[in-house]
Amino acid sequence: MVADVFLVIGAGSIGQRHARNLAALGQKVDLVPYREFDADKVAQRTDVAGVIIATATPIRLSLVQLCASKDWPFYVEKPLGWTKEQIADIYAAAAPVSDRSMVGFMMRYHPAVRALAQLDLSDIYSFAFEIGHDVRQWRENWSFAQSYASGPAGGGVLLDLCHELDIAHCLFPQAAVTSAASLDHPDFTGVDFATRISLAAPLGTVAMDYLSPVSLRKGQLRGTGQVIDLDLLAPAYARDTGAGPQITTFDFDRNDMFLDLMADFIAIATRKPPSGNPLMPRLGDVRESCDLIADAWQARRFTGQVEVAF
């Protein structure tokens, strides 16, 4: 039997998106809800070209182990884990297929992020990234309290919205976590609803929250020779080197990032050339970013609470 089916494990909103995009890219797809997943039965399959792991974070290691044992490349949603030990276990298990596998850092395919990565940012001494959105407005018929996000182990906004930490790493690979302050909720103790992470070299902050009534996703970079203000939702950025701001805008649909990332996964899974995006999140290339997220999670200190009604 020809190995030409992409198996999507996890039928939540992100798993369904990946299944639709795989089909749009001309691939055969089998979408399996995790509650119906039978590891022994799946292990008998001979038609699998690759696996998309779109499950809750705590249960991904066993799926990675299965993929590696079958020589199946995989695409796994972020984050890999919330401790360095978990991440180390996944990397050890994934070694046989790591060069053909990917992590779902889809913001690396955002045109503004790609454009910023091409600039000379060596003069930047300070940066800030921020993402905020009211978690109660995310999806129709979706309950935060019954979701992966509401658990103290593997939940919370830092892990959920960790793309901005990955962006910070892409642009400033030497930046390291110095502290992280968080707010939880009286009904969800130990689950961060707002977190602000401080980094150094250069000085930076990454903030994320489940609370903002207006969706926002912005960044500011300050250097000795340039000032850059970024709006990832517009999307556009303004860069001023002293002669007035020059605004760069992008023609962009959010799903484009998912499509482009999935196209690259299909390519490396089937041993074909990928697109050439220098930020492509091949598993073997994103260990430092995954560890940075774990460092931030473990550095959290809860300094207060926020009260919103659920």
Give the confidence band of 128 by pLDDT, cuts at 50, 70, 90: very high
118 plus 67 within the same structural domain? no
Please name the residue that has the structure tokens 């250069």: 202
What pTM was computed for the model?
0.96
Q: Residue 212: CA atoms inside 13 Å, Cβ hemisphere, count?
A: 15
* pLDDT exceeds 90 at position 142: no
Buried b (16+ CB within 10 A) or exposed e, 5-23: bbbbbbbbebbebbbbbbe
- Co-location of 160 and 68 in the same domain: no
Tell me how far the alpha carbon of residue 229 is from its chain's centroid.
22
Structure tokens at 169: 């790493």
Hey, which residues does 204 pair with through a beta bridge? 127, 199
Summarize pLDDT for 42-93 with one digit per residue, the tens: 999 999 999 999 999 989 999 999 999 999 999 999 999 999 999 999 999 9
Q: Where residue 162 falls among pLDDT bands split at 50, 70, 90?
A: very high
Which residues span the domain enclosing 206? 107-253+292-305
Is the bond preceding 96 in cis, omega lying within 30 degrees of 0?
no
Residue closest to 219 by CA, chosen among 227, 230, 211, 208: 230
Closest by CA position to 264, among listed 46, 64, 109:
109
Answer yes or no: is 80 within a domain. yes
pLDDT of residue 137: 85
- Domain membership of residue 81 (yes or no) is yes
DSSP state of 282: B
CATH code: domain of residue 216: 3.30.360.10
For residues 220 and 139, state if they share a domain: yes
Same domain, 49 and 168: no
- Does residue 174 sit in the same domain as residue 39? no
Which percentage of the chain shows pLDDT scores above 90? Answer: 91
What is the average pLDDT score of the chain?
Answer: 96
Q: How confident is the model over 94-112, as a mean pLDDT? A: 98
